[in-house]
Amino acid sequence: MDFDTNSFSSIAINPINKVDVKPWETTIGKDCISLDSSLAKWIAPRLKFLAEHGNTYPPQYTEEYWQNELTMHGEILEAYAMAQACGYNHDDMYQDAQASIKWVAEHLKHLWD
């Protein structure tokens, strides 16, 4: 994932002879090298976008609480992706990012506008 452009790796040009394709040089391959940080980097800005621009929230939460949760988990995942890009690894940061990914999974049906 290209950290500067906040998007997945640029599209790989496939050679005419597909036998020459090296799997880890494809778009998906490049993202899978560090899928943990690729996922965190992709999800983070989208959670923060929903927090800022979303119009809906689950019935068990207030709008403010939902926006705060989206923002917090977006910031945790963003920090994790940035730390990974810099080569910084810390167990607490990993555990926080893992908890945020679990939160996303638990609230998957509510992540829409």
pLDDT of residue 103 exceeding 90, the answer is yes
Q: Are 81 and 40 in contact (CB under 8 A)?
A: yes
24's CB contacts (< 8 A; 6+ apart) are 30, 32, 33
- The pLDDT mean for the chain works out to 89
Predicted confidence at residue 16, as pLDDT, reads: 58
Q: What is the mean pLDDT of residues 45-49?
A: 98
- HEC sequence for 29-88: HHHHHCHHHHHHHHHHHHHHHHHHHCCCCCCCCCHHHHHHHHHHHHHHHHHHHHHHHCCC
> CB-hemisphere CA count at 13 Å for 40?
26
Distance CA 1, CA 35 (A): 9
Quote the pTM value: 0.80
Give the SS3 label for residue 16: coil
| 35 vs 15, more confident | 35
pLDDT digits (tens, 9 = 90+) for 57-102: 999 999 999 999 999 999 999 999 999 999 998 999 999 999 999 9
If phi over 0 gives left and psi between -120 and 50 gives alpha, with beta otherwise, what is residue 98?
alpha
